[in-house]
Amino acid sequence: MMMDRPSVKIIYIMIIASLCCLMAACGGKDAGAVSDIKEKGGKERIVVGFSQLGAESDWRSANTESMKSVFSKENGYELIFDDAQQKQTNQITAIRSFIQQDVDYIVLAPVTETGWDTVLSEAKEAGIPVIIVDRQVDVSDESLFTCWVGSDFELEARKVCMWMSYFFNKKGIKSEDVHIVDIQGTIGSTAQIGRTKGFDDMANLYGWDVVAHEPGDFTKSKAKEAMFAILRNYDNVNVVFCENDNEALGVIEVLEASGKKCGSDITNGEIMVVSFDGVNKAAVSSLVAGKISCIGECNPLHGPRVESIIRKLARGQEPYKYQYVNEKIFAGTSAVPSIMLGGKEYKVTVFNEETLYEWPY
């Protein structure tokens, strides 16, 4: 029996309507999004648990911001963020919570190097990859973490000390006339261990008089206490090696309050201050003003680097176990255009008002 035209027409409409409903049932997302979600293990979002050690410095804040801006809902992630307030026990608790929530990846910025074996074994047992970022962990079995990305802190220190050596040579300052103190970062952190080792090795190599090491915990307040103690006990210090910018700002405050001038002319009584990070705006302004003579860059923008690792893992690829970030040397003067270290030339980036204006932090 031949169907009349209206019946055929109705069937066409029903077929097209069914196809539209089918498309809508696919979530209405374009093919790209669906394949992208498939790439992320077929879930609606990738869940990342991030244990951040604290908020002690501008570097740390920039590092947190970098992670949060990358692991956003818009980018297809759910970020579970925990600020441990400088306490390893809080980080261990956070990691256990991430395991309970069965996150897809754990990212850990460890406050110090030791004490991670047990909790990382629990994460491994749960089959959750752990990415270490910034500082490192000292564990008995390197299979307890998937990989690490961060800075070479010892190299940072060697570069800043080499800059000083070039500068002292250029100004005719003898090594025995350099009386230097080290305001250390959080004791036991990779950044402190590396920067202190680089400092000690280079000071020894060049015969500088190392007057003292004082813990400054990467904070302005602790560094002020340390500098006050140094001024009470020593009267010959003419160079202060600060293991981060926040410490350097505290040191400058104390030196200026005690009537001293911060600058590179140590032959005529100024006190040279050098530092690390290059994230704190006030510190970079002090570089331009000449109150800080040299800053070893320590780049905090690890968010994209960690995401690149996660995408590799999601594709079944194996990232490098250790990934070091390339970093520069910043100075307020062009006296030392570049340094040679380990057979490699490092050009010095000279900061001025224009650089300051464009500085991204």
Positions that interact with ligand GZL (CB under 6 A): 56-57, 59-60, 134-135, 151, 191, 218, 244, 276-277, 298
Nearer to ligand GZL, 60 or 159 (CB): 60
**Cα 308 from Cα 304, distance rounded (Å):** 6
State the sign of the Cα–Cα–Cα–Cα dihedral 71, 74, 78, 79: positive
We find the least distance from the C-beta atom of residue 191 to ligand GZL, in angstroms, to be 4
Nearer to ligand GZL (CB atom), residue 95 or residue 157: 157
DSSP E strands, the chain: 46-52, 77-83, 105-108, 130-133, 147-150, 179-184, 209-215, 239-242, 272-277, 294-297, 322-324, 329-331, 338-341, 344-350
> At closest approach, how far in Å is the CB of 277 from ligand GZL?
5
Selection from 56, 48, 116, 113 nearest residue 82 by Cα = 48
Q: How far is the CB of 146 from ligand GZL (least distance, A)?
A: 19
Beta carbon of residue 172, minimum distance to ligand GZL (angstroms, whole number): 32
State which H helix or E strand residue 313 sits in: helix 303-314
* Cα dist from 142 to 15, 292, 312, 332, whole Å: 58, 39, 19, 41
Between 49 and 110, name the residue whose CB sits nearer to ligand GZL. 110
Nearer to ligand GZL, 190 or 293 (CB): 190
Smallest gap from Cβ 241 to ligand GZL, in A, equals 13
Closest CA to 186 of 155, 221, 152, 215: 215
What the block records as the tokens of 173 is 């300052």
Cα separation, 200 vs 204, whole angstroms? 6
Least distance to ligand GZL, CB of residue 282, Å? 13
Beta carbons of 43 and 10 less than 8 angstroms apart: no
User: In angstroms, what is the minimal distance from the CB of 57 to ligand GZL?
Assistant: 4
Pick 154 or 277: Cβ nearer ligand GZL: 277
Of 109 and 348, the one with the shorter C-beta distance to ligand GZL is: 109
Q: Which one, 208 or 276, has the nearer CB to ligand GZL?
A: 276
